[in-house]
Every structure is written in C-alpha cells, then in structure tokens.
Amino acid sequence: MEVIKVEGGHPIGGEVTVEGAKNSALKLMAATILAPGTTTLANVPNISDVHVMGKVLKYLGAHIEVENEHTLKVDTSSVDKWETPYHLVAQMRASTAVLGPLLGRFGKAIVAMPGGCNIGARKIDMHILGLEALGVRFEVDHGNIHATTPNGLTGGMVTLDFASVGATENLMMAAVRARGVTTIDNAAREPEIVDLANLLNEMGAKVRGAGSPVIEIEGVDELRPLETHAVVGDRIEAGTFIAMAGICGQPVTVKGFEPAHLGLVLKKYELMGLDVERGAHKVTVARSRPIRSTDIQTLPFPGFPTDMQAQTMCLLALGDDSCIVTENVFENRFMFASELQRMGAEIRIEGHHAIVHGVRGFSGAEVKSPDLRGGASLVMAGLVADGVTTVSDIHHIDRGYEGFVPKLKALGAHVERLEVPDAEEM
C-alpha cells in the first residue's frame, strides 16, 4: 500500500504546469471509435483513468500506440466489438462514454451498468432517456444495458432534466451519425464539452452551439480520423494548485490552462482574500491577508465546479469566520469533511450543506483519501498542518493527477510517496 506523507509548515512557491484535462481526454478517446483509422491525441495526461479507457478501447479491438508520454495514436479501424465488460466499467464510470460512439458506428452497444460511486449515484437514466429520443431501444439484462437501433439513429429534440456532462457527451457522439438534426436543450456547457465538439467537427461532424445551453447537431454519413488534436488544459488540476497557493500564501504561477475556464472560482477566491493575477494560459496566486469566510454553492458550468468543492472547503476551514458550502451536484461529496475534521477542522454537515467554522490551523494526522479531489485536498491541508500528515488510499489521487508528488516537491513542499505494509498483512 502506498501513502503520501506531508510535513507541514514549509513554504511553497514557483511555477507548475498542468496536464491535459482528464475529463476531456477520456471522452476524446471514446470519440475515436466514430472515425475508423488512426487519430492522434496530444496533451493526454498519463493517469490511471486514461489507462483504463485505453483498456476499454483495446478490448473493443482498437490499437493504441504511445508516441510519447502525452501523445496517443489510437487506431480504431479494427474495432469489431460493441460490448464493454463490467470489470473495466467498475474501475471508471466514465467508460460508459463509449455508449454513444458505439451506437454511432454500429447502431448497437452492450455496456455494463456502472453501479454506485463514492461521490454519488451518477445515474445513467438521462443518457438512456435522451438516446431513446434518437430511436435507441434499451433493455437491461444481467446487469448489462443492451442498446439497439431497429430503425437507425434519427435526429430529434432532447431536453435534459439536468445539465449532465456525461449525457450531453453521449448524445453528441451518437447524434453526429443520426439522420437529420438533433437538438439538445439544457445541454452541459463545460469547456470539455466544447473540446469534444471541436474534435467531432474536425472529424467532419456538424455540431453548433457547444458551450451554450442549446446544441444542434446535423448528422453526417461518416467521420474521418484526425492527424492531431490537443486536449484542453485541465482547469481542475489548475484550480487545485491555485487553492494550494492560496492556503500557503507565497506566489505560485499555474500554467497550461485557460483562466476563463475557472472564472467563478477565481472570483470567489478573490472574495476570500487571495491575490489573483490572470495572464495568457496562466494565473499567479498569492495571499497576504487572512482567508475571508465566503459562502459557495456548486452548480454546472459556468457555476462553481463540484470538482473544486473539497479544495475550497479546505481553504474555508481556515477562514476568519463561518460560512456555508452547498453541494448541488453529487450527494456524497462531503465524505472528505470527516477526514479534514481529524486534522482539526470544524465542519457540520446538514443534508447537502456544510457549515464551516474557521479554525486557527490544522494538526497533522493519518487520513484516508475518500475520492479523487478529496484526496488531493487532504494533501493540501497537510502542507500547512502542524506536524506530519499521512494520506492513504492514494489510488484515488492517481486517477486524476499526473506526477502529483514531484510537482509539489518542485514547488518546495516536503512531501514523499512511500510504500507501507498493508494493515491486513501486519
């Protein structure tokens, strides 16, 4: 078992460059199914979730060549299966993103039900309801979703109950090969949706309105593979390092992403007393005054991202007063709070609200990473804690952060990744 050990109280500062966005790279990899041939994806993060998506594509018959650490050549010309196995879907819920591309290419798909998740149910109902409007028929059998298109994919009007990123992406990837025009109302507006639309359009699709609440897709007969497409920079990895700079205080410059993709986060952080200097594809953050307690609530983009909630709660736990953090996206996203309480935070959970009372400081402790962002946030707390913090279950962190410990070390943090005996083996 590996852990991350952090010795608090050491200043961090300097520059860090973020990788390509996890939440974009996974969907772009799935989209290559739609264009038989070799598509090259650049700026792909070298993280465990990308490795799992690679296994899904290989299982379907694709060939993947790693040209360098961050460039993948994905050849989908020999894809001849349309079924994803449970053992892969269970490792990463985003692997259900192949549903839309498989329907677009083969008119059928069998995808294992994703089941539950640490941070929420992530129900696939909206995907199914939306695709039914395009002529897809579904049956659930032995834990698998069987999708067929008896009369082919046909464009239609889809109104989503919630601006779901996953449902919007699956609908886009199916609709590009449907007859006629598909309109997605109340579509997700995240930058990763725009990145996917750009890739599809470069392949020959006709997608309009990505980044707005209404996306219109005119179906085409075929899509062609791409010579190269670079994944958009990871705004959440950038936000994590920005939050770390805010809690530690010394200037940190975060490069490789678009500051506009963190628009509301940066505005809230300025309200909290952080000094934010925006530049071209970078942000410099520092703090010279106490953290001001500020209410936040998570919402789909352009609202405050749920993926930045834990990092922000960590900041607010050292605030000068009390505030409320409201989670509107995932129902179980407060599991991180109980671990932060072990380090001295004062947080009370009431439904989907967390009442945060600022404390003077954190104490180092042994804590468990409950999920991807919560794990990174516990390491963040350890940077300013009194003594040593040991974070276990760090496989969650590996899902979304490449070279997390080396990047922190380069900023001056006293942090190391260690292998320790598993408690069951002792």
**Binding site listing:** 22-23, 93, 307, 329
Report d(CA 418, CA 384) in Å as an integer: 20
Report d(CA 240, CA 163) in Å as an integer: 24
Q: Which residue(s) pair with 416 in the sheet?
A: 5
Supply the angle between the helices 165-175 and 99-106 in degrees, to the nearest 10: 10
Report d(CA 286, CA 273) in Å as an integer: 9
Other C-beta atoms lying within 10 Å of the C-beta of residue 326 = 15
Give the three-state DSSP class for 418.
Answer: strand
Q: Which one is catalytic: 117, 248, 314, 323? A: 117
Residue 21: which of 253, 379, 305 has the closest Cα? 305
Residue 321: which of 356, 345, 372, 348 has the closest Cα? 356
> Strands 322-326 and 296-297, how do they pair?
parallel
CA separation (Å) from 10 to 275, 316, 385?
20, 20, 10
Q: Which residues are annotated as a binding site for phosphoenolpyruvate?
A: 22-23
Under a CB-based contact definition with an 8 Å cutoff, are residues 281 and 254 in contact? no
Q: Which residues are annotated as a binding site for UDP-N-acetyl-alpha-D-glucosamine?
A: 93, 307, 329
Q: 148: which 2 tokens? A: 């067929």
The stretches of 212-262 forming alpha helices (DSSP H) are 235-248
Q: Is the peptide bond before 302 cis (omega within 30 degrees of 0)?
A: yes
Residue 407: which of 8, 5, 10, 19 has the closest Cα? 19
117 is catalytic: yes
Residue 141: which of 116, 110, 114, 117 has the closest Cα? 110
Residue 367: which of 384, 389, 348, 383 has the closest Cα? 389
- Residues with active-site annotation: 117
